[in-house]
Amino acid sequence: MTTYHFRGRLALTLTMLMLASSANADNHGAPDMPHLVPFDAIRDQHNPALVNPKSPDDLMIAAGLRESTLVPVYPKAVQCYEIDHIFGEVWKGPTNTRHSGADIPAPWDYPIHAMADGTVIAKFDGQGGGGRTSRGIQIVLQHTPEQTGLPVWIYTLYSHFRELPKLDVGAKVKQGDYLGPNGKTGVPGRRREPHLHLTVNISPEPEYAIRGSVVVPKNGVFIDPVALFRGKLPLDTASMQALPEEQKQVPIAYRTTGGDIVPKNAKIIWPMDCY
């Protein structure tokens, strides 16, 4: 019996390893991925929070995951699809996990766009090979400091697409480039409408690893996606909470369906066109 259990566990472990490597096959060995490093090379204090959404709350908060108290100010001239479930919100349920991003509900297939120039560093089909399925189909972009005008490395993660984005890992994207159609893959609960879940990480360094279906930036933390629209440091959640009230009002930069960027020099825009 002991032997049987041992063999069973070994077989299971091997299967999991194979699943994990096939899930990552798209990402490893892709051309021009100079900052992808093994997970063991980037172990740091925030890893558990970034990798596992059910990590203890103090770890999640230390990694920036709590309500920022920022208030997005949407344009008056046009309509934008707006955040309903905010970053850091506690999902009431058996585990009380915190929402790692902002949710933006929009119609089925509404186009989702790159918020800034960047590189596709991962995409996941949501089928679970070694990772989370609750995000459904995801794509992750990495943005250099030059690409955003902010002196940190920024990661924007877009999830719940209806279909797998056609962009390849390693592809360079420009601000506003089409990523894929809005959907609700991976979304638990039938009543929730299609929406974009947007998670943003920042890091002082360019290296990142991929663990299952999670991109883990070296020394990365979560930030409120709304903070990106401040256009300057700081961006971290504790600093956002400490801002004077008037500075917590953050105007959203966007692109119109006609292709205009507002304001014109914005390097980071809302991930869906306003109309």
Beta strands of the chain (E only): which ranges? Answer: 71-73, 102-105, 111-113, 118-124, 137-143, 153-161, 172-173, 178-181, 195-203, 208-211, 214-217, 221-223, 249-251, 254-255, 261-262
- Indicate the residue among 89 and 109 with the shorter CB distance to Zn ion: 89
- Indicate the residue among 101 and 129 with the shorter CB distance to Zn ion: 101
Min separation Cβ 85 and Zn ion, Å: 6
Closest CA to 65 of 73, 55, 74: 55
- Indicate the residue among 103 and 236 with the shorter CB distance to Zn ion: 103
What are the φ/ψ torsions at residue 201 (nearest 5 degrees)?
-115, 150
Token readout for 251 is 């105007």
Count of residues touching Zn ion (by CB under 5 A): 2
Q: Which residue is nearest to Zn ion (CB)?
A: 197
Q: What is the pattern of x (binds Zn ion, CB under 5 A) and - over residues 81-110?
A: ----------------------x-------
Min separation Cβ 99 and Zn ion, Å: 6
**Single-letter residue type at 125:** D
- Indicate the residue among 36 and 214 with the shorter CB distance to Zn ion: 214
- Indicate the residue among 101 and 217 with the shorter CB distance to Zn ion: 101
Select the span of 51-59, 64-72, 197-205, 261-269 touching Zn ion (CB under 5 A): 197-205
d(CA 66, CA 88): 4
Q: Is residue 66 within the footprint of Zn ion (CB under 5 A)? A: no
Min separation Cβ 160 and Zn ion, Å: 8
Q: What is the pattern of x (binds Zn ion, CB under 5 A) and - over residues 145-184?
A: ----------------------------------------
d(CA 13, CA 11): 5
Min separation Cβ 34 and Zn ion, Å: 30
d(CA 263, CA 241): 26
- Say which residues have a Cβ less than 8 Å from residue 45's Cβ, sequence separation at least 6: 62
Q: Which of 197, 218, 230, 255 binds Zn ion (CB under 5 A)?
A: 197
d(CA 261, CA 180): 20
Residues binding Zn ion (CB under 5 A):
103, 197
